[in-house]
Amino acid sequence: MNISEKYNKVLLVDDDLDLLEQNKVLLESRGFTVITAESGKQGWETFKKELPDAAILDLIMEEHDSGFILSHRIKTHEHGKNIPVFILTSATYETGFKFSVSTPEEKEWIKCDDLLNKPIVTDEILTKLENFSK
């Protein structure tokens, strides 16, 4: 089974519509079915309706912590506990501060499976999905 079959339906949430469409096309070109949302609020509603196999969320949307909040909601939902959730951020590029989820404490606090830097690198996401374990 290839990775796009295992995680067929991916929720992609970003308030930058150009990046949202670009990343959707990149993931669809690798065989994924991509559902999108343009805000943390819309992302939560879409998650509950669609129950995706994976989620990729922008960090800064309506608020500076919208991605953290959405990730926390997803990872504490019964369905979300079992799917990979990644947060995309340009914060490292903009601030020089590097977020990490490498320790159990960080994973507990941040409630996501990994942080990825923008711009999105499709191969990096594929590797993260392949290495995901519940």
Asked whether the predicted pLDDT for residue 76 surpasses 90, the reply is yes
In the block, tokens 């993931």 appear at 27
Cα(128)–Cα(85) distance, rounded to whole angstroms? Answer: 10
Kindly state the average pLDDT of the residues 22-44: 96
Domains of the chain and CATH, by start: 3-131 (3.40.50.2300)
Asked whether the predicted pLDDT for residue 27 surpasses 90, the reply is yes
Q: Are 6 and 53 in contact, with CB atoms under 8 Å apart?
A: yes
Structure tokens at 120: 């999105």
Which residues partner with 57 through β-bridges? 13, 87
Structure tokens at 125: 């996401």
High-pLDDT (> 90) share of the chain, %: 56
Confidence of residue 82 (pLDDT cuts 50, 70, 90): very high
Q: Are 86 and 29 in contact, with CB atoms under 8 Å apart?
A: no
Kindly state the average pLDDT of the residues 94-102: 57
Cα(52)–Cα(114) distance, rounded to whole angstroms? Answer: 17
Peptide bond into 104 cis (omega under 30): no
Q: Which of 5-9, 54-58, 109-113, 119-123 has the lowest mean pLDDT?
A: 109-113
Cα(58)–Cα(112) distance, rounded to whole angstroms? Answer: 12
Confidence of residue 96 (pLDDT cuts 50, 70, 90): low
Confidence of residue 52 (pLDDT cuts 50, 70, 90): very high
Predicted pLDDT of residue 92: 54
| Other beta carbons within 10 Å of 69 | 18
Cα(76)–Cα(30) distance, rounded to whole angstroms? Answer: 29
Structure tokens at 4: 């796009």
The greatest distance separating any two alpha carbons of the chain, rounded to the nearest whole angstrom, comes to 40
